[in-house]
Structure 1
Amino acid sequence: MVQVLWQRRKFYGYVRIAKRIRKLLKCRLSNRTIWKVMRELGIQSTMYRKRSKKPTTTTDMPQKPNLMRHLADLSEVVTTDITYIQLINQNWVYLATAYDPKARKVLAWQVGQQMTQDLAVAPIQALIHQGYTFKMVHSDMGSQYTSRLFETTLTDAHLRHSYSRKGKPADNGRIEAY
């Protein structure tokens, strides 16, 4: 029966053939059983599932140092990240946050319609204007955080910049998890 169904519709795989046999014979039959039978008969579907590629990081920027990696005391470190949020009306907005990893709280945030370098800089500038004391900012290697505007803002405020490794969000895990 498996071979007959397969010859009629060669694009059917074991799942579809099993479903069709269950419907025709009104019996219990597992997909795995049909898979084994098809393998023994040397037949398979002519259709293949389209496999999507895993997204990769594509940046020409060389890896920059992860200064926060070896710190025991995170009291003067601020981590920053941008995430997106879907609104009720199906639109998307971007949320840039500055986060204190030691106190585990958001210190400043900014919402924007687009993910820009200005959006990335806004929470850091807010902390500077509030007089919040910190010596280092840790971020990912996103284009907003490697931009000239972001780097200049940190340099002007005498702040060091630490970066997560490319494609390793766990390096900035505390802000990614909040």
Structure 2
Amino acid sequence: MNVQKIILDLNQSGQSVEELAEQYGIATQTIYRWKKLYTKNEATGMTEAEILAMKKEMARMQEENTILKKGFNHICSKVKSSDAFEFIQSNANDHDVKQMCTVYEAPKSSYYDWVNKKPSKRQSENARLSRLISGIYFENKGIYGAPKIHKILISRGENLSLKRVQKLFRKLGLRSITMKKYKPGKQAKVNSEGHKNLLNQDFATTSITQKWVTDITYIHTLKDGWTYLSTIQDLHTKKIIGWKFGKQMTKELVIETLDHALLNHTPSENLIIHSDLGSQYTSEAYEAKLKELNIRHSYIRKGCPYDNAGIESFHASLKKEEVYPSKAYESFEAAHMALFQYIEGFYNRKRIHSSIDYLIPNQMEELALQA
């Protein structure tokens, strides 16, 4: 599945050209040209009116579902009616009040009686902060917990404690969706003799293209079984600068990943790329490619997973924040689209990292290029 098809599928599913252009850094003119070249109206088998009606109904159902998810803690048993009213008021700009009252079985007249009571200054401020917290939480797919949301609020000029954010976070019924799950075992390794560990757990950098780390992780699909994601990360920016997704774990997959990284990143004179001792990375073809590019190859010591903590951390975040919450991908193509959205639309462009002073990988890269 190429980038054009992914972008057009996302556009067909409801995202506008402008949103896609901003989210993935692609010119609007390019996307419109792709639409003209590749979109076929007859392929839908539906009239425009049917499509619009279907989208309207889906939007209505999605809004109700979103309301239920946001307000779960406000409608569970033994909560005060004022809690439900507070939630409805804090979301009145995003959802229809009448619809929220119906969903939460809250009398509309009682709600407006409550609204007309003048809130205290503290209540008003809590309501405002709750809207900000909810916005940040849902904008980032429910991945961030209170500490990271607190950092974002501080960066936006808000003056409040982490304890207050945690209290409001709990009151809103929010929690980070990240979850752990069993990970299949790694492939067999080759003999480590003659393969040096140049990195030696020294992950410090002063700029980009000094130290890259790479690995392969497993992604399961219902139709196509196990598939494989190969990635390269720059340790200075935490950015995923190269990635490829395939149905087989081959040396060609890791070479294509390296080629992808090289499209927009020129190796420095002393660049090190760090990998495990998998047969793909120790293959003659891969070693020859690195030698041709004057890239030094560093290897994980046998039985020492901490040697490649950077890329392992990324794969753990990917699994906890995208793969496991998705439950199961229907096919290779569905998984590919989801990975594209996570890596290119969220991880590199929006996700903050405590290890780089709560910056975004793309921001970190821009600062390095300006230095």
Match of 2:237 in 1: 103
Whole-Å separation in 2 of the counterparts to 1:59 and 1:67: 18
Contact kept in structure 2, 1:57 and 1:167, CA below 8 Å: no
With normalisation by structure 2, the TM-score equals: 0.31
* Contact 1:56-1:167 within 8 A present in 2 as well: no
Supply the distance in 2 between the matched residues of 1:145 and 1:78 (Cα, whole angstroms): 14
Consecutive unaligned residues of structure 2, counting only runs of 5 or more, are: 1-184, 315-371
Deviation of 1:172 (Å): 0.3
Please state how far the C-alpha of 1:171 moved relative to its aligned partner: 0.4
Q: Deviations over 1:106-151 (max 9, x none)?
A: 1110011111001111111222233433411111111111110110
Partners in 1 of 2:255 and 2:264 — Cα distance?
14
135, 138, 143: which one pairs with 2:274? 138
- Highest relative contact order (Cα 8 Å, sep 6+), 1 or 2? 1
Mean Cα deviation higher: 130-139 or 111-120: 130-139
Q: 1: CA distance between counterparts of 2:294 and 2:187? A: 33
Bigger helix share: 2
Q: Distance in 2 between matches of 1:83 and 1:139?
A: 13
Q: Which residue is 2:291 aligned to? A: 155
Write out aligned runs for 1:89-128 (5 A). 89=223, 91-128=225-262
In the alignment, structure 1 residue 73 sits paired with structure 2 residue 73: no
* Post-superposition CA distance 1:56-111 (Å, at most 9, x none): 96533415111112464264111110111012436111000011112112111001
In 2: Cα distance, 1:129 partner to 1:71 partner: 24
**In structure 1, distance between residues paired with 2:206 and 2:248:** 30
The aligned length equals 125
* Residue pairs, 1:5-84, within 5 angstroms: 59-69=190-200, 70=202, 72-73=204-205, 75=207, 76-84=210-218
Counterpart code for 1:145: Y
Residues 96 and 120 in structure 1, CA contact (< 8 A), matched pair in contact too:
yes
- Give the TM-score normalised by the residue count of structure 1: 0.62
Match of 2:219, SS? Answer: strand
The structure that has the greater radius of gyration is: 1
Partner residue, 2:312: 176
